[in-house]
Chain A
Amino acid sequence: MTDRIVGARLHYEDSQTLERFLATGGDQGLRKALLELTPQEVADQVTTANLLGRGGAGFEAGRKWSMLRKAPRRYLVINGDESEPATFKDHLLVENDPHQLVEGATIAAYAIEASFVVIYLRGEFALGLERVQQAINEAYARNALGRSIFGSSFSVDIVLQPGAGAYICGEETSLIESLEGKRGFPRIKPPYFPAVIGLYGEPTIVNNVETVSNLPWIVQHGGEAFKELGQGRSTGTRLFALSGQVRRPGPYEVEMTKITFRDLIFDQEYGQGLDPGRELLAFIPGGVSAPWFFPEHLDIPLGQDEVAKAGSMLGSGSVIVMDDSSCPVRSAWRIARFFARESCGQCTPCREGGAWIDKILRRIEEGEGRESDLDLLLDLCDNISPGIKWPPAQTTICVLGPSIPPSVNAAIQHFRDDFLIHIKEGRCPHA
């Protein structure tokens, strides 16, 4: 693990405590922002840093803030509803550096002139909820939150809200609906951004946990310093959640674009490679909604545009490794089943298509498949996201539907023979 920005404190056993936080530069970014900079200057630093959102879509945080509609009341929501399989970077930050999260959220609130912040955490983060709440309480106690923070004229409150167990509530408009006490249905667009109509109809910024956790560093060291890390549009560092069949899975903070997937998976500093005698079958570069990568993609650097150019995405930063002991049919089914179960059910293609694909893949996995199922699966994918392109075409309200086809398509295109063995011989070649 490289101790760079958001993970700088994580090698301490007591990284979650206020003492450690304050002893390692805690509050300095917030003090500087509130006492030395105007909100616009803070926002400018973030724009200069070219901080890309770390939630999955990779939208420039500074640009998102600049779209905020002028209104007397503005809200900031911190999205910590991290619920995707194999994604655990926010989990780490929430549990092990909650003070940095609260500091970052306060800086963001200052920059966008919001007076009310909600930190929305996945309900299953029991320890994280406890620690973030404690961090909030301690922030109020030392006047790092509340009225006239650190003697400045800025006041803000932060409220912690646990989610209720729905992946879809990580989608920002759905999260807002959920906060309003409604069913977690993503909002239909237009309006396209909560920055125009968000929580309670007011302009709202929704930022990811990791995104705002970068802010104390950016304010302290300046946007230019952040931009010097990485290259091109991919600046700073990112936390990658490496999982699957590697010898040392875990979260790694790495400078963007400076290492490749080969480094991340095989380097001694990171994943340390596969088990002896195993070969790499495939890996997913950015979460289960991303198209799969294969051995020929290993030398692509960990950068937003570099991965996009190769036909996938860095997404939420979760890298899933499959060696030749894993079954691509089963993997595709597990992913499809996840999306089918987590679909909110609003749009027909996602609700019905996801559930149908889940059933077909399960049937194939259980040895009951038909050869025609493969074309059927691809056609169903096409009916969910026409063309099965990358980036995917979206005919549903949110992107959950279009997240279903990539893994199904990748598995069928690259491992058709494995499917056929399941179908014709009723067995799994990887078992």
Chain B
Amino acid sequence: MPDELVAVTFDGHSLQARKGVKLIDALDDAGINVPRFCYHPRMSAVGMCRMCLVEVKGPRGVSLQPSCYIDVADGMEVFTESDAVKKAQHGVLEFLLANHPLDCPVCDKGGECPLQDQAFAHGSGETRFVEEKRHYAKPIPISRLIKLDRERCIQCDRCTRFADEVAGEPLIDFAGRGGTLRISTFSNVDFDSYFSGNVAQICPVGALTTTPYRFKARPWDLIQSASTCTQCDMGCQVSLQSSQNELTRMLGIDSDAINHSWLCDRGRFSTSEVNNVEHRVTRPRLKDQDGTVDVSWTKALRAAASTIKRAIDERGASAVAVLSGTSLTLEDTYAWAKLASDVVRTNAVDGAADVRIDGSLLLENPASINEALAARRLVLFNVDPKNELPVLHLRLRAAIRAGLRVVEVNAVPTDLTAIVDRWIPIDPGNLGTTIDSVVAALDGDLDDVVVMAGCRDRALGASLNTALLGELLSRVPRAKVLSGIAHGTNALAVGFAPSAPRGIRSISGVEPSMNADSIVAAALRGEIAVLVALDSDLMGLGLTEDELVSLSERTTVIALSSFESATTRHATIVLPMSAFGEQQGSTLNIEWRHLRLGRQVEPVGQARSAWMVATELASMLGDELGFMTLADITRELAQSGGILSGLGLHYFSERLDGPLFPLSRKEEIRMQRVLDPMATPGVASIERQGANFAAGNVVEPSESPGFAVGMGETPKSLPSAKSSAVARVIELEPLSEGEHWLSLVPRLYDSSPELLANPFLKLAIREPVLVVAPAVAEELGLEDGGHCRLVGAGSAEVTVRHAKDQTLFLALHGVTPATQQLLGDQSWVKVRVEKSNG
């Protein structure tokens, strides 16, 4: 819907402005910059700093008004350059600087500081303030990641507003009043938030700094490029910055389609693990009778190729399995998919172990993030955005504040449950009515519904999850679907997983049909000769270290990995892989949007990109993948005739974020916001840096070559995942005496090799916690803070917390190797609860 326009006069120029926007935004649109500190385009206006005063003509004459707080009105006459305006701005700036320590030379913000910039533009060269300045103890750590310098603070309310309004975690607030107004945490409660880094990014002075970046570099020494955070498939747009071949920090870029400039701490501080060389795999190595020896790439690859060749010859292609983890680029994924399918010709391939749902449901009628947030109704199905796609949690909170009506369907409540319209529990004791309740909650409003579909609850089997979602989609046939799965989009898009949408898989090659669980099970039974773990820790798939040891005795494990893990410890062949920020490429996010990845530093040691390793292995196996460069892969994908038809890098020169795929999807390109240095200090020049990513040529889709990621046939004739799903009876075997339903849900800081490599974030790792409804706890005699042993397929010792939310049964928070032991192949996991003997 085009914006309604009104006639305004800015500084004597007759112009048109969008009706209803804040005057400051209209002035921005008109190219008139009004200085500001407290105003942030993604938060509500508070009018505190008074820096944006302009003169507005009203019925009682011209008066100074804060342009951030008044709406543009028809006929409005505004003066931004008058003497009164200049005097007011000059005065406010002098007031702000009066107590500011002016320690710019030792301040991290120096060089990219809105206060510094605006002092140059609107301030005086000399101070009239000869009094003693305010003094505070400093710096004060308000969390493990954030330090506060109260002397630099200009009380703009940005950080406190972010915490309260955007993150919904009001853990910092003002204390005191008047000249002693200061930011404070509450007594002994840290600013412990998944989103704490944002406050340092939006701080218009150096009052809030992040511990990892503190004193690391000067802004003018940083090299930056536009990239995409790959910690989850949200696809947050970032400015990736480095100094002296080391990643220094990551800042959010305001992408209207995706992250609105926000990042989560998991993403923002992931640069620290890339830099942690001690935890990185840096050289190829082989394990033999004499132990582990470093070898050359050639020798390692030869060993890998001959092992694979022998396995194929002796035991068939299916004895070679490939499991892939979360951080492969689209190009890496495609190269390995092609290697597995066309060269090795194995069906034992899973690059999307986290996708425990039929991927066809995700792609039949895809919705973008913005479509989901603008729908009349959004159904959150088995997804916990805060822990799985954290920045989406922020977008959802903002959309709900603006009126989005959400029906949440989850076995365990989330942090959104308190603010959604309706919460429908997935109750294993009463599954049959779940979807009835969801449809009823939509109040007959079935026309503009988006379902965000995930597979958050690990205790809920893939077939059951698919059946429930399938039933929902068949009952709301016009619903669009947005994937709520944090990892695996690239693999789904190129058919590198058995869960990939039907018809998207290779035509000439072999289709994946064994998933990660069955591959691991087969390996434990000795049926897999070679297991390639691509950036994948097998312990993350629920193996104990003992099982991993015994597996590696019978199976040759080839680990291509960025980080050391139990898997690299026990693998026969270990190959170093370049990590985030060390390689170019691209990736897809949950809405199938194509996003660029920037290379900002040299790979550590001898690390290489996974796609290069694939091409070399292919040639050593006597075949060719047919590409030598990234552009070759892009071209091949573009010509595949599948959902990635038309893929190209040229889009990135037009906009920060790339297009949605398939390209036939319509997207209203909203006005591209000019990067506002006051909103995102530190990333002002990213537009000019955008061309850093070599633009490819426009490639027209054409006939697909041998390996294809095409739909095969037109999507219309695909077997409907919906109808086949509905056919299944949703019925669980009832509990036996002493059994309980269990939910197992992930948390953002669940232990992983990457997280353990992060010196700052690893401190946030917590033991799994069993949250129990108070009534159930009483029945089982479980005390708050006590321990118990859960016995399912395996067993795990866990800490007990009594639920403060609507948790119905046993909810185990924390997906770890230990807790995954509980999972079997049932539709829903049942456990027995034993009193802990510890």
Which of B92, B131, B154, B179 contacts A363 (CB under 8 A)?
B131
Question: At the interface with chain A, which of B46-54, B321-329, B538-546, B722-730?
Answer: B46-54
Which of A190, A342, A382 contacts B178 (CB under 8 A)?
A342
Q: Are A343 and B179 in contact (CB under 8 A)?
A: yes
Question: At the interface with chain B, which of A199-207, A283-291, A351-359?
Answer: A351-359
Give the residues in chain B near A184, CB-CB below 8 Å: 177
Q: Are B178 and A393 in contact (CB under 8 A)?
A: no
Q: Are A188 and B50 in contact (CB under 8 A)?
A: no
Q: Are A355 and B179 in contact (CB under 8 A)?
A: yes
Within 8 A of B (CB), among A131-166: 166
A10 to chain B minimum Cβ distance, whole angstroms, is 35
Give the residues in chain B near A190, CB-CB below 8 Å: 70
Q: Are A345 and B177 in contact (CB under 8 A)?
A: yes
Give the residues in chain B near A353, CB-CB below 8 Å: 91, 95
A396-B92 Cα distance, complex, nearest whole Å: 11
Contact status of A351 and B178, CB under 8 A, knowing A188-B69, A360-B131:
yes
Number of interface residues of A (CB under 8 A): 35
Q: Are A352 and B48 in contact (CB under 8 A)?
A: no
A351-B154 Cα distance, complex, nearest whole Å: 10
Q: Are B179 and A340 in contact (CB under 8 A)?
A: yes
Give the residues in chain B near A352, CB-CB below 8 Å: 95-96, 98-99, 179
Which of A183, A355, A383 contacts B91 (CB under 8 A)?
A383
A29 interface residue per 8 A CB criterion: no
Q: Are A383 and B87 in contact (CB under 8 A)?
A: yes
Q: Are B48 and A348 in contact (CB under 8 A)?
A: yes
Within 8 A of B (CB), among A297-345: 340-345
Give the residues in chain A near B136, CB-CB below 8 Å: none
B88 interface residue per 8 A CB criterion: yes
A62 interface residue per 8 A CB criterion: no
Q: Are A351 and B179 in contact (CB under 8 A)?
A: yes
Q: Are B64 and A349 in contact (CB under 8 A)?
A: no
Which of B50, B70, B131, B177 contacts A344 (CB under 8 A)?
B177
A421 interface residue per 8 A CB criterion: no
A158-B172 Cα distance, complex, nearest whole Å: 34
Residue in B closest to A344 when the chains form the complex, CB atoms: B177
B339 to chain A minimum Cβ distance, whole angstroms, is 61
A359-B87 Cα distance, complex, nearest whole Å: 22
A22 interface residue per 8 A CB criterion: no
Q: Are B98 and A166 in contact (CB under 8 A)?
A: no
Q: Are A345 and B53 in contact (CB under 8 A)?
A: no
A166-B176 Cα distance, complex, nearest whole Å: 11
A346 interface residue per 8 A CB criterion: yes
Give the residues in chain A near B45, CB-CB below 8 Å: 188
Q: Mark A192-222, 1 if CB is under 8 A from B, else 0.
A: 0000000000000000000000000000000
Q: Are B50 and A354 in contact (CB under 8 A)?
A: no
Residue in B closest to A167 when the chains form the complex, CB atoms: B177
Q: Mark A171-192, 1 if CB is under 8 A from B, else 0.
A: 0000000000001100010100
A395 interface residue per 8 A CB criterion: yes
Q: Are B179 and A348 in contact (CB under 8 A)?
A: no
Give the residues in chain A near B732, CB-CB below 8 Å: none
B84 interface residue per 8 A CB criterion: yes
Q: Mark B120-142, 1 if CB is under 8 A from A, else 0.
A: 00000000110110000000000
A39 interface residue per 8 A CB criterion: no
Give the residues in chain A near B92, CB-CB below 8 Å: 348-349, 383
B63 interface residue per 8 A CB criterion: yes
Q: Are B48 and A349 in contact (CB under 8 A)?
A: no
Q: Are B49 and A348 in contact (CB under 8 A)?
A: yes
Q: Are B181 and A351 in contact (CB under 8 A)?
A: yes
A168-B154 Cα distance, complex, nearest whole Å: 21
Q: Are A349 and B179 in contact (CB under 8 A)?
A: no
Give the residues in chain A near B50, CB-CB below 8 Å: 347-349, 395-396
Q: Are A345 and B96 in contact (CB under 8 A)?
A: no
B94 interface residue per 8 A CB criterion: yes
A90-B722 Cα distance, complex, nearest whole Å: 72
B173 interface residue per 8 A CB criterion: yes
Which of B51, B70, B98, B155 contacts A345 (CB under 8 A)?
B155
Which of A344, A356, A363 contacts B98 (CB under 8 A)?
A356
Q: Are B178 and A340 in contact (CB under 8 A)?
A: yes
B348 to chain A minimum Cβ distance, whole angstroms, is 60
Give the residues in chain A near B88, CB-CB below 8 Å: 383, 386, 395
Give the residues in chain A near B186, CB-CB below 8 Å: none
Give the residues in chain A near B49, CB-CB below 8 Å: 347-348
B215 interface residue per 8 A CB criterion: no
A346-B179 Cα distance, complex, nearest whole Å: 10
A397 interface residue per 8 A CB criterion: yes
A34-B610 Cα distance, complex, nearest whole Å: 85
Give the residues in chain A near B46, CB-CB below 8 Å: 188, 346
B94 to chain A minimum Cβ distance, whole angstroms, is 7
A376-B46 Cα distance, complex, nearest whole Å: 29
A182 to chain B minimum Cβ distance, whole angstroms, is 10
Give the residues in chain A near B47, CB-CB below 8 Å: 188, 347, 397
Residue in A closest to B49 when the chains form the complex, CB atoms: A348
Interface centre among A341, A344, A349 (most CB of B within 10 A): A349
Q: Are B178 and A347 in contact (CB under 8 A)?
A: no
Within 8 A of A (CB), among B400-434: none
Give the residues in chain A near B94, CB-CB below 8 Å: 383
A351-B38 Cα distance, complex, nearest whole Å: 15
Q: Are A395 and B99 in contact (CB under 8 A)?
A: no
A386 to chain B minimum Cβ distance, whole angstroms, is 6
Within 8 A of B (CB), among A38-94: none
Q: Mark B38-75, 1 if CB is under 8 A from A, else 0.
A: 00000001111111010000000001100001100000
Give the residues in chain B near A393, CB-CB below 8 Å: 63-64
Provide 12 A-B residue pairs closer than 8 Å at the C-beta atoms, listed in order of the A residue.
A340-B179, A345-B155, A345-B177, A345-B178, A345-B180, A348-B49, A348-B51, A348-B92, A351-B178, A354-B178, A384-B91, A395-B88
Binding site for B on A (CB under 8 A): 166, 168, 183-184, 188, 190, 340-349, 351-356, 359-360, 363, 376, 380, 382-384, 386, 393, 395-397
Binding site for A on B (CB under 8 A): 45-51, 53, 63-64, 69-70, 84, 87-88, 90-92, 94-96, 98-99, 128-129, 131-132, 154-155, 173-174, 176-181
Known contacts A348-B48, A383-B88, A386-B84, then 11 further A-B pairs from the complex at CB < 8 Å, ordered by chain A residue = A344-B177, A346-B155, A348-B50, A348-B155, A351-B95, A352-B98, A354-B178, A355-B99, A355-B178, A356-B95, A397-B48
User: What are the 6 tightest A-B residue pairs by CB atom distance, in nearest-first order?
Assistant: A383-B91, A345-B181, A355-B179, A352-B95, A343-B178, A359-B131
